[in-house]
Amino acid sequence: MSSNNKKVWLITGSSSGFGRALAEAVLKHGDRLIATARKPEQLNDLVNQYPETVKAVRLDITNKTAVKAAVDAALEAFGRIDVLVNNAGYGLIGALEEVSDEQIWRNFDTNLFGAINMIRAVLPILRQQKSGHIVNMSAIAGFSNELGFSIYGGAKFALEGVSEALHGEVAPLGIKVTIVEPGPFRTDFIGRSLDRAEHSIDEYEQTVGEFLQFLDKIEGTQPGDPDKAAQVLIQVVNSDNPPLRLVLGKYAYSKFRKKIESLTAELDAWEQIAASTDFETVGSHS
């Protein structure tokens, strides 16, 4: 691959999970990479293996000064940014009543506002280039939420809403947007990357408690393969007509389709009553 055809990726949260799998795949593909992490020393093996095509950068996406420094580092190293992958994030499980104010704020600050910080920092570059691709890592909980994910899923729902509007805003500028909605993948999301409510309330044991038990049960045996997902993401980024939404894994597909069917049934059931709230059209009797 010639250097003119190599894309420059900026991936947040590159040290583990999806971010790490995608970072390795991007470099094997021959592209160039700004790999970011709170502890960039965790990326030393990648830098040693690909010294010419990867630069590790310290980044806290909730810090706008650090965000600007990371974007500047990308331009200094490779002169452009072609793909931004907003991957950094973490889960929070607990009933809405169980989680603390601080837990709510920190989760939204990372999963929503951190991604917005990155997008706003990169957009001027992509506009000038008249090209680029923004990939926002959501979750199937960002479309069909789970009990206990009111805050985590809520932050991802918000990110999807931002992404939908952004998609239309930047399409005429040559910039593409894709929302990625994975189901359970074999990463450390359930373990290290899942924050838990600071206190529990017995009444939620039959709802949130059951979902938490499900997560603990599948830890280490999740059906999704992060390496396969990384290859699909590279294919999407290199597609002339990438999807706005990319649903990953059979579990996620099943939940997505069930929600669409449920929404359609509910919409049809209430259509006449809901439509009756419009003003009567003048002259409609003639």
Which of 36, 66, 67, 69 has its CA nearest to residue 54? 36
Residue 18 carries which side chain, given as an amino acid letter? F
Report, as residue numbers or ranges, the catalytic residues. 138, 152, 156
Q: What average pLDDT score do residues 120-138 get?
A: 97
| Predicted pLDDT of residue 271 | 94
**Token pair in block for residue 186:** 């074999």
The answer for residues whose C-beta is within 8 angstroms of residue 119's C-beta and 6 or more apart is 84, 86, 134, 136, 162, 166
The answer for residues whose C-beta is within 8 angstroms of residue 107's C-beta and 6 or more apart is 90, 92, 151, 152, 155, 195
Which of 28, 198, 204, 16 has its CA nearest to residue 107? 198
d(C-alpha 263, C-alpha 11), whole Å: 34
| Predicted pLDDT of residue 4 | 60
| Predicted pLDDT of residue 210 | 80
Please, which pLDDT band fits residue 219 given cuts at 50, 70 and 90? confident
The answer for residues whose C-beta is within 8 angstroms of residue 245's C-beta and 6 or more apart is 143, 178, 179, 181
Q: Is the pLDDT of residue 196 over 70?
A: yes
Pairing between β-strand 175-182 and β-strand 91-93 as defined by DSSP bridges: unpaired
18, 85 Cβ separation under 8 angstroms: no
Which of 146, 145, 118 has its CA nearest to residue 132? 118
Summarize pLDDT for 81-100 with one digit per residue, the tens. Answer: 999 999 999 889 999 999 99
Q: What average pLDDT score do residues 196-223 get?
A: 80
Which of 129, 117, 206 has its CA nearest to residue 162? 117
Instruction: Kindly list the domain boundaries of the chain, sorted by start residue.
Output: 3-252
**Token pair in block for residue 199:** 């206190």
Summarize pLDDT for 137-167 with one digit per residue, the tens. Answer: 999 989 999 999 999 999 999 999 999 999 9
CATH code, residues 3-252? 3.40.50.720
Mean pLDDT, the chain, as a whole number? 91
Q: What's the pTM value of the predicted model, to 2 decimals?
A: 0.92
Q: Please give the DSSP secondary-structure letter assigned to residue 281.
A: P
CB neighbourhood size of 202 (10 A): 7
**Token pair in block for residue 266:** 């509910």
